[in-house]
């Protein structure tokens, strides 16, 4: 399972990535999770199973869909409260649901 989180710069999102990795490890799920700047989405989408946008760049969802959907990669915006609370479990569950896993 490869999950990409896209945001403006990658700072706070990288903290969320670490929390999501811990949840995956606790559950025994093999997952590669990384944060990237939204400007590099086209570069990384081919290697992803799921793409998530940070709430601060939710306005890019339609652009993200144009990039991700033709490649069969589901994309959505991370819930603002889950992002703010750095709730790795809820964000990980959302990614798994998008990937139908």
User: Which residues are identified as catalytic?
Assistant: 7
Whole-number Å distance between alpha carbons of 96 and 74: 10
Instruction: Dig out the tokens for 72 from the structure.
Output: 């069969």
Tally of CA atoms within 13 A in the half-sphere of 9 that contains its CB: 2
Instruction: Dig out the tokens for 84 from the structure.
Output: 């703010």
> Residues 41, 65: contact at Cβ < 8 Å?
no
């Amino acid at each position: 399972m490869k999950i990409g989180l896209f945001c403006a710069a990658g700072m706070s999102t990288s903290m969320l990535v670490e929390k999501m990795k811990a949840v995956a490890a606790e559950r025994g799920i093999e997952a590669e999770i990384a944060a990237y700047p939204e400007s590099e989405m086209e570069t990384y989408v081919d290697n992803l199973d799921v793409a998530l946008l940070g709430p601060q760049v939710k306005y890019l969802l339609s652009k993200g869909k144009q990039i991700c959907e033709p490649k069969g990669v589901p994309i959505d915006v991370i819930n603002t409260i889950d992002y703010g609370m750095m709730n790795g479990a809820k964000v990980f569950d959302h990614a798994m649901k998008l990937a139908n896993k």
